[in-house]
A and B are shown apart, each in its own frame.
Chain A
Amino acid sequence: MGQAHDALSDGLREAFRTASLLRWAPAITLAAFLLPIAAGLAGTLLPAMGWLPALGANSFSLAAWYTLFQAPGFVSAWQLTLFTGLLSTLLSLLLALGVVAFLHQRPAARRLGEWMAPMLAMPHSALAIGFAFLILPSGWLARAVSPTLTGWELPPDVSTVGHPSGWPLVAALLLKEVPYLVLMTLGALNQINAAAQVAVARSLGYGPAQAWFLVVLPQVYRQIRLPVCAVLAFSLSVVDVALILGPGNPPTLAVLAVRWFADPDTRWVFPAAAAATLLLLTVSGSLLLWRGLEVLARQWLRRRTRQGVRSAHSAVAAGLATALAAALLGAAATSMLALALWSLALQWRWPAFLPSAWTWDNWWRQASSLAPPAVTTLALGAVSTLLALVLVLACLENEVQRRPSARAEGRDPSAAGRRALWLLYVPLLLPQVAFLFGLQVLLVRIGADGSFWAVVWVHLVFVLPYLFLSLADPWRAFDQRYARTALSLGASRWRVFWRVKLPILLRPVLLSCAVAFAVSVGLYLPTLFAGAGRVATLTTEAVTLSSGADRRVIATWAILQAAFPLLVYALAAALPRWLYRHRQGLAR
């Protein structure tokens, strides 16, 4: 009895100590990813105004903007950026909502979610390379129908990849963003009683798809608004996919800025900074425009609701969207298959549907050049994920432990968390190119550019939000009575964390880490800038090779790049299932 009492008071003391340390977690975490962004933004905005003392420019001027506006193709570049960014966002959202409206009442919805989740792990650039192999004039699609159906004895002389309209860029963005938004929407559905409300709407005469659009969508949109905004910002400012699939001359605004930043003539830094700043303004303006569209859409839905029109149009539209999304998933899978075949091809002449001779030589020959970037990729992913995990867990534990006192003081315990949500999205709502150059200048100044740890830090900026966003909900939903029971049995806070909480939450922890790892592996521009071109990962190399190397070589790089996150994801899904195979309560 006395012993148990001692252990309990020890546990309490320990709890106070760790709690005081934990109090600093949110501040440290926010500083870790907001400070570099703030510094980077300043370091990009100032050169846009002609200020960069490191290059001897220390008076403000608008010269950079004149150069930007008068650059050949500037207007088309800007138009292309707006067209591809807005169109791909609008289409991804419409398709994703159609898919959920069509499938939400069918058991297929859950299986679809399970199929789409690995798509999120796929790096954008690997998917874009595979998609290029599919749609090139000499690509797999053309081979599938030639020459029997088309009569093409030679690859047709048309442009697909790099088409000036930017449609391949839009299509490739859809491949990734539709599954992302579908999963976000399915997740939001869990928070309202969607099934019962749809049942009521159906008893009032509305079909399932229309019921979903009129009754469920207005309630869940608030929860998917930030992800949609992130998709919009990303689509407007993406660089790697635009390098692989977008037009070359003029390219999108983001690619233009990167190209000028990389110019050996450092005077191009100023118009590059102006282009990056313009992109930042473009993204902000587009977000405002989107907000306006949201209001209009909401008013239109409300008017339809008041009129009481029962119509079958929604069902048709939702079915069509689902068919299109299925075609996209098929295209993504075919793209990956095309990469795999090319990586094993010895000879694959036009217009053969399959390689005429197979070999492992592509892999063996590449092995020595693949290995070092592969190790770097793994190390960057592992280290940045672990660092982010420690910070995120500290933040979440801090929040959970302060919950009772917040309640006692009559405050909403999760209000602070909701306010912080916007901050978490900051790195996802800003164009990367708008702060990476300034960050690079900062890294050069402290002598850290091109180092492994500089790249880890920049990866952390992007890894952290994703890890937090995927882990926060399950962590907050943990039943605190388990922890209180363990404490009352005499276990210390520390022991409760390691022996009770972490094991119970192992599955969401591992899956969130897999998401974070995949984010790190896929990062192109942040690696390029922080690494000063000296830290080579599978992604930076694959994107560089994509512009000209032998398809068999490109394929090995892209396949390996995609394989890492997929394997980690599979492992994260399988491990808890195996560990808890005799624990029905956890094995799901």
Chain B
Amino acid sequence: MAQMHPDLQLDDVQLSVGGRALFAPLHARVPGGQCLTVMGASGCGKSSLLAFVAGTLDPAFAAQGSVRVGETVLDGLPPERRRIGILFQDDLLFPHLSVGDNLAFALPAAVRPAALRHQQIDAALASAGLAGFAPRDPATLSGGQRARVALMRTLLAQPLALLLDEPFSKLDTALRADFRRFVFEHARSRGLPVLLVSHDEADAVAAGGPVIELGVGAA
């Protein structure tokens, strides 16, 4: 299971709005299975940093620098061709699809026939402690359950790296620790490089990797 993914690498990345740089140029290398945490107050540009890596940066921002996964340079690629998974604060499960169809949407078409697809979806649900949930309406799930389905959906698309945009901040304290552990275990067991942005110290501790403070040293 733990085949290691290539490194996620940021070279000299800097974002600016209207000529004002949000933070000092950023260099980072995240090996597979490790998590880099980027900390900073709200408005420091940490979510925009993830949007830049994912390829969904608002055109109001100017960006410099380069993002690579292994030898593949992602700059200029549209988000759908980057194979970068992302989890947001909201689970963003598609409300018109069942839990199982949300997962089927993510699973690559190469996984065939239908029986194999069902098998993989059921396995993913079982590993999230949600066996038998495939036909359910996402709206009937608890917040913690929805969050876990969202992670499984992201992972089923077989990403090369995982971005976490404060996905724990909206869960209540008890659930938060659980879900954190769940996310990091899955990412580690798949050998995915993870980039986490957060303003919560506890997230960084749980991630167990290096921490960068953003917004310090901005020009």
How many contacts A-B (CB < 8 Å)? 83
A contact residues around B176 at 8 Å (CB): none
Number of interface residues of A (CB under 8 A): 26
Knowing A205-B80, A306-B104, A310-B80, say if A200 contacts B96 (CB, 8 Å). Answer: no
Q: Which of B22-30, B67-75, B85-93, B197-205 contacts A (4 or more CB under 8 A)?
A: B85-93
**B54 contacts across to A, CB distance below 8 A:** 199, 203
Which one of B56, B94, B153 lies within 8 Å of A199 (CB-CB)? B56
Q: Write the chain A residue with the least CB distance to B92.
A: A200
CB neighbours (8 Å) of B99 from chain A are none
B66 to chain A, nearest CB (A): 19
CA distance A246 to B56 in the complex (A): 48
A23, CB-defined interface residue at 8 Å? no
Which of B106-114, B166-174, B181-189, B211-219 binds A?
B106-114
CB distance from B74 to the nearest CB of A (A): 12
CB distance from A175 to the nearest CB of B (A): 32
Q: Is the CB of B111 within 8 A of A203?
A: no
What is the CB-to-nearest-CB distance from A127 to chain B, in angstroms, rounded to a whole number?
A: 35
Chain A residues, Cβ within 8 Å of B101 = 302, 305-306
- 1/0 per residue B94-134: CB within 8 Å of A? 11110001001111110100100100000000000000000
Q: Report the Cα distance A309→B111, complex, angstroms.
A: 10
Give Cα distance in the complex from A214 to B78, angstroms: 18
Let me know if B108 and A205 touch, CB within 8 A. yes
Q: Which residues of chain A are within 8 angstroms of B154 by Cβ–Cβ distance?
A: 203-204
- CB of B56 within 8 A of CB of A218, answer no
A307 on the B face (CB < 8 A): yes
Within 8 Å CB of B109, what residues of A? 307-310
What is the CA–CA distance of A219 and B94 in the complex, to the nearest angstrom?
A: 9
Q: Is A207 an interface residue (CB 8 A)?
A: yes
- A197 touches B (CB below 8 Å): yes
Q: Is the CB of B86 within 8 A of A308?
A: no
**In the complex the two chains form, is B56's CB within 8 Å of A308's CB?**
no
A203 engages B104 (CB within 8 Å): no
What is the CA–CA distance of A203 and B74 in the complex, to the nearest angstrom?
A: 13
**B80, A308: Cβ atoms under 8 Å?**
no
User: Is B157 at the interface (CB under 8 A from chain A)?
Assistant: yes
The answer to whether B78 touches A205 (Cβ under 8 A) is no
Residues 186-211 of A, flagged 1 when their CB comes within 8 A of B and 0 if not, give 00000001001101111111111001
Max count, chain A CB within 10 A of own CB: residue among B59, B78, B84, B96:
B96
Tell yes or no: A215 within 8 A of B by CB. Answer: yes
By the criterion CB–CB under 8 Å, are A196 and B153 in contact? no
Residues of chain A with a CB closer than 8 A to B159's CB: 203
B79 adjacent to chain A (CB < 8 Å): yes
Q: How far is it, in angstroms, between the C-alpha of A562 and the C-alpha of B154 when the chains are bound? A: 53
Query: What 0/1 pattern do residues 73 to 111 of A give for CB contact below 8 A with B?
Result: 000000000000000000000000000000000010000
B157 touches A205 (CB 8 A): yes
B83 at the interface (CB under 8 A from A): yes
Once A199-B79, A214-B105 are accepted as A-B contacts, the answer to whether A204 and B56 lie under 8 Å apart by CB is: no
Q: Are B88 and A308 closer than 8 Å at their CB atoms?
A: no
A201 CB to nearest chain B CB (Å): 8
Report Cα–Cα, A199/B95, bound state, in Å.
15
Chain A residues with CB below 8 A from B107, complex form: 308
Which residues of A in the span 290-313 have a Cβ within 8 Å of any Cβ on B? 302, 305-310
Return the contact of A196 from the options B79, B82, B90, B117 (Cβ within 8 A): B90
Chain B minimum-CB-distance residue to A196: B92
Scan residues 116-167 of chain B and give those whose CB is less than 8 A from a CB of chain A.
117, 153-154, 157, 159
Does B80 lie within 8 Å of A202, measured CB to CB?
yes
Asked whether A205 and B88 contact (CB < 8 A) given A305-B104, A308-B108, A310-B109, the answer is: no
Q: Which of A207, A218, A306, A309 has the most CB of B within 10 A?
A: A306
List residues of chain B with CB within 8 A of the CB of A205.
80-81, 83, 108, 157
B90 nearest CB neighbor, chain A only: A196
Q: Which of A107, A200, A202 is within 8 Å of B78, CB to CB? A: A202
Cβ contact within 8 Å between A305 and B92 = no
Query: Which A residues lie within 8 Å of B157 (CB)?
Result: 203-205
CA separation between A203 and B160, bound complex, in Å?
11
Chain B contacts for A218, CB-based, 8 A: 96
Note all chain B residues with C-beta closer than 8 A to A107. Answer: 59
B114: A residues at CB distance < 8 A: 306
Is B86 a contact partner of A200 (Cβ separation < 8 A)?
yes
Contacts A306-B104, A308-B107, A308-B108; is A219 near B96 (CB within 8 Å)? Answer: yes
Measured CB to CB, the closest approach of chain B to A382, in angstroms, equals 44
Asked whether, in the complex, the Cβ of A308 is within 8 Å of the Cβ of B106, the reply is: yes
Task: Assess whether B85 is in contact with A305, with CB atoms less than 8 Å apart.
Answer: no
Contact among B81, B94, B111 for A308, CB-based, below 8 A: B111
A-B contact pairs, 17 of them (CB 8 A): A193-B92, A196-B90, A196-B92, A199-B56, A202-B78, A202-B79, A203-B79, A203-B80, A203-B82, A204-B106, A205-B108, A208-B80, A219-B94, A219-B96, A307-B109, A308-B106, A308-B117
Contact surface of A with B, Cβ cutoff 8 Å: 107, 193, 196-197, 199-208, 211, 214-215, 218-219, 302, 305-310
8 additional A-B pairs beyond A203-B154, A204-B105, A205-B81, beta carbons within 8 Å, are A196-B92, A200-B92, A203-B82, A203-B157, A215-B94, A219-B95, A308-B107, A308-B117
